[in-house]
Amino acid sequence: MLALIGFVLMAVLMVVLIKSWVSPPVAFIGLPLIAAVIAGFGAEEIGGFIGSGLKSMLSTAVLFVFSLSYFTLMDEIGLFDPVINFLTKKAGKSRMMIVAAIILTTFVAHLDGSGATTFLIVAPAFLPIIKRLGFRKEALLAIICGPYAVMNIVPWGGPTMRAATVAEVETGDLYSFIMPGVVVLIILAFVNGFLVNLNEVRHGLKPESEAEIAAEEAASESAKRTWKYWFNLALTLVMLAFLFLDTPLPLYSIFMIAYAIALVVNFPQTKTQNKKIKELGQNAMVMTVTLFSVGIFMGVISGTGMVDAMATAIVNVLPAAMAPHMHWFMALFSVPLMMILGTDAFYYALLPIIIGVVAPFGVSAQAVAATFLLTATFGTPVSPSVAAVYVGLGLADITIGDHIKYSLKFVWPMSIITLIASTLLGVIPF
């Protein structure tokens, strides 16, 4: 019964988000609470679920508020304009050069294995460029999804460590085992970028006019001549360096400190600082509310046991004849499963069950872990259950429904192609 309620909840949630019938906060707050009441939980229990869920989102919400405010401020004062002008002039009319630059930058930005860091570095830098080319904002996140999937499973990344722990193998050994599949992922990251570019061309590009470009370039040249520009550039570079360094400072505190310094330097008067804080805070408010709403959603579905019940039910409903190949057939749906269950539940709840089912047929735990790592990684950057995704959504100013509607048609086929190619390469047993 609990699993059924969970599946209905997730189905309704996906439809509501994609169709935009209500705003995301309303969906993430209202739907799980209704589901919890139907499942028979009382007010005190539901209150506990909400509390634990909100605590899990607190650091991400703080990170989001200050990072978005910081980058919005930097964009206003023209920090990124010279880079934008340089790249667009070098690329000329070659959209694929810009796409390749986005992909390569994402590879580097995701070296620390943090999805939030990746979006924070890539989205503010390239959003103005893709607008100038006439791409939709959703296209930027769809392009990022390819290299994000590759770097999301580096040996020090969360998914790989989770999978290695469950499979009881060394993280380095697991990564070495999946390396041929990782090569496939790298190739598909560029294929994905090419397909997104093609999709935008077919949709119809709406690039900025020559007058708009000329005005932006003039503004950026003016910004370059002030000492504040060079200070802001140095501050941003130092801040980005701290994101990659292994420091005891929490990620959000780095942005808080940089934001405070930037406000004081660029707006010395207290009255102006307060005005700017209000203006910049408005941009972050909607997505911050959404983030806390997601916290309620995650707290309820985890605390009620819906996630575990769904994972078990998925395995139990499959035909017994499929048991020797269950890991392979389940991997066909790893992207939507990752979107429904979230990273922790996917690896800690579903993966052990699958390992137990196929073990009597000679399929090793390492092979099952490899199967899910290589295929489910495409689901992470489009999952409504992954907090880092909302950082990218806020920076790109799009909704989770628009992101899923646009990107799912690219990432799910890429996952299936990876499954087939890795099977042919001998990484994934059938």
pLDDT in tens, 358-415: 888 888 989 999 999 999 999 999 988 887 888 888 888 888 889 999 999 999 999 9
Distance between CA atoms of 391 and 206, rounded to whole angstroms? 26
Q: For residue 391, tell me if it sits in a domain.
A: yes
**103 and 143 in contact (C-beta within 8 Å)?**
yes
**340 and 10 in contact (C-beta within 8 Å)?**
yes
Q: What is the pTM of this model?
A: 0.74
Q: For residue 250, tell me if it sits in a domain.
A: yes
pLDDT for residue 161: 80
Residue 269 CB-density burial (10 A; 0-12 exposed, 13-18 middle, 19+ buried): exposed
Residue 37 CA, chain-centre distance (Å), reads 30
**397 and 13 in contact (C-beta within 8 Å)?**
no
Q: For residue 160, tell me if it sits in a domain.
A: yes
Distance between CA atoms of 130 and 125, rounded to whole angstroms? 10
Q: In this predicted model, what pLDDT tens digit does every residue of 296-306 receive, in sequence order?
A: 888 888 888 88
Distance between CA atoms of 148 and 411, rounded to whole angstroms? 11
Confidence of residue 208 (pLDDT cuts 50, 70, 90): low
Q: Which tokens in the block code for residue 137?
A: 């904002």
Confidence of residue 13 (pLDDT cuts 50, 70, 90): confident
Confidence of residue 88 (pLDDT cuts 50, 70, 90): low
Question: How wide is the angle at C-alpha 242 spanned by C-alphas 237 and 247, nearest 5°?
Answer: 170
Residue whose C-alpha is closest to residue 141's, from 102, 100, 109: 102
Q: For residue 143, tell me if it sits in a domain.
A: yes
Can you tell me which residue has the tokens 């598909």?
A: 188
Residue whose C-alpha is closest to residue 372's, from 331, 410, 338: 331
**408 and 340 in contact (C-beta within 8 Å)?**
no
Q: DSSP secondary structure string, 272-304?
A: HHHHHHHHHHHHHHHHHHHHHHHHHHHHHHHHT
Q: For residue 429, tell me if it sits in a domain.
A: no
All residues at 6 or more sequence positions from 420 whose CB lies less than 8 Å from its CB, including other chains: none
Residue 405 CA, chain-centre distance (Å), reads 15
**293 and 28 in contact (C-beta within 8 Å)?**
yes
Distance between CA atoms of 132 and 340, rounded to whole angstroms? 35
Reduced to 3 states (helix: H, G, I; strand: E, B; else coil), residue 157 is coil
Residue whose C-alpha is closest to residue 1's, from 313, 293, 259, 235: 313
Split into its structural domains, the chain has a count of 1
**2 and 309 in contact (C-beta within 8 Å)?**
yes
Reduced to 3 states (helix: H, G, I; strand: E, B; else coil), residue 269 is coil
Distance between CA atoms of 29 and 34, rounded to whole angstroms? 9
**178 and 387 in contact (C-beta within 8 Å)?**
no
Q: For residue 186, tell me if it sits in a domain.
A: yes
Count other C-beta atoms under 10 Å from residue 247's C-beta: 12
pLDDT for residue 180: 93
Q: For residue 67, tell me if it sits in a domain.
A: yes
Q: For residue 430, tell me if it sits in a domain.
A: no
Q: In this predicted model, what pLDDT tens digit does every residue of 213-245 receive, in sequence order?
A: 555 555 555 555 577 888 888 888 888 788 767
Q: Which tokens in the block code for residue 169?
A: 């193998």
Distance between CA atoms of 354 and 308, rounded to whole angstroms? 13
Can you tell me which residue has the tokens 């600082």?
A: 273
pLDDT for residue 6: 85
**Full residue range of the structural domain in which residue 26 is found:** 2-424
pLDDT for residue 384: 86
